[in-house]
Amino acid sequence: LRPRRAVKLIVYRTGLSSPVGEALLAAANAGKEVTAVIELRARFDEAANIDLASQLQSAGAKVVYGIVGFKAHAKLLLVVRREAGKLRRYVHIGTGNYNTKTARAYTDFGFMTSDDEYGRDVHSLFHQLTSLGRGGRLKKLIQTPFDLHDRLITWIRQEATNAREGRKARIMAKMNSLIEPEIIRELYEASQAGVKVDLIIRGTCCLRPGIPGVSENIRVRSVVGRFLEHHRIFHFHAGGDKLTYCSSADWMPRNFFRRVEVAFPIGGKKNRERVLHEGLEVFFEDNMDAWDMQPDGTYVRAGAPAGSDVGGDEELVSAQMVLLEQLADEGR
């Protein structure tokens, strides 16, 4: 611990007796500069967060409660160390909470890097959350409530333009809920332009797929298996540039306009292919835990014959089990 200079973390849901909380307390007691942005209104964890805030303050940590009127829902960790006479930033950005219980039951993605551009962006976000709340100019990250909604609208419209001009166009996304009206309208427009749109929405979805003349190029699937599918991913073909992001935000008004959220790009072909495979593509092969939304908003089990809600005769495939087997093979 001796070379470490500072630790900064957003605490949304940590749970009681959290190893993350214990690590923050240990760092503060060791004399390190600890800053915790604690969201006291985190659902189900209000009491745990209040208790952690009191303990951290007693240990000498700086505790702040975000920006008035906006929930701090982003998943960010920043560690600053002095190495070889220079300060170096290590960053973790995720789609899920730093919570031991949900980490065992939810599926999420996390990204750890010492890349300086990410480090400067995350440092800027913590400065924003602990000072006047003014948005900074970010190079890598996209933040709500400032620009994520507008950026998504722009990218969806660009896919529609590409499709009208005869170029390849594709949108894939995964999230817990899709209810933001303007995003839904733009997805309908993209479908009508010929864009293939594949969505995995675990929970509430106000979009209706497969309606002739409206959304026939959109399919919506919900996967309910052993683990709760919690990560948020969106991918745009973007004329071959292939923009892939993970995020803490669902496509809901509260996430776009009333919360502090972050979306982060997945760079590099290998990383992008892994995120797309593990988070999206394999779930469209699932015919065991997957349910396809119909134009009337009802769901039918994937692979079920017409008029039935049970699967067909083909071999059953569970995406979650496939991924578990792949991870087990990699560990052998």
Q: Which residues are catalytic?
A: 73
Contacts of 100 (CB under 8 A, 6+ apart): 15, 18, 19
SS3 content of the chain, % helix, strand, coil (to 5): 35, 30, 40
- DSSP string spanning 125-139? HHHHHHTT-PPP--S
88 near 13, Cβ under 8 Å? no
First to last CA, the chain: 32
Q: Give phi and psi for 160, each to the nearest 5.
A: -60, -45
For the four alpha carbons of 113, 118, 120 and 124, in that order, the dihedral sign comes to: negative
HSE-up of 138 (CA within 13 Å, CB side)? 24
Q: Give phi and psi for 73, each to the nearest 5.
A: -110, -5
194: left (phi over 0), alpha (psi -120 to 50) or beta: left
- CA-based radius of gyration for the chain: 21
Task: Give the residues across from 4 on adjacent strands.
Answer: 81
